[in-house]
Amino acid sequence: MTQLANIRAAPRCGAKTRAGTPCQSPAIRGRARCRIHGGLSPGAPRVERNGNFKSGYWTAESMEERRWIKEILRLYAKATDK
Ligand SMILES: [Zn+2]
């Protein structure tokens, strides 16, 4: 019974689900998210520390930048498409 009480007392994962409600799963110890929301592992190392690093093309930063440019172009095309 103490184990169940511990689970109930554990901090909850605050990740938002597709339904818009918080996840509510127990968070991993020492972290704010449950294991399915990035609590278990921080992921692969960024940039050069990642063993699979080849060029700068696939870094999170450059991918984010390309997405941003694509979005701008899309909005611009929509605005001029009349
Ligand atoms: Zn979660």
pLDDT tens for 24-67 read: 877 777 677 787 777 566 665 666 666 666 666 777 778 888 89
Query: Which is nearest to 50 in space by CA: 61, 40, 65?
Result: 61
Q: Which residues surround ligand 1, an ion (CB under 5 A)?
A: 13, 15, 23, 25, 34, 37
User: What's the 51 CA to ligand 1 centre distance in angstroms?
Assistant: 28
Instruction: Compute the distance from residue 10 Cα to the ligand 1 centre, in Å.
Output: 13
20 with 1: CB under 8 angstroms? no
Measured in Å, residue 73 CA sits from the centre of ligand 1 at 34
Over 70: is that where the pLDDT of 22 sits?
Answer: yes
Spell out the domain ranges in the chain: 1-43, 44-82
Answer whether residue 78 shows pLDDT above 80: yes
pLDDT value, residue 58: 72
Say if CB 32 and CB 13 are below 8 A apart: yes
Q: Whole-model pTM?
A: 0.34
Say how many Å lie between the first and final Cα of the chain, rounded. Answer: 67
- Residue 8 CA to ligand 1 centre (angstroms): 15
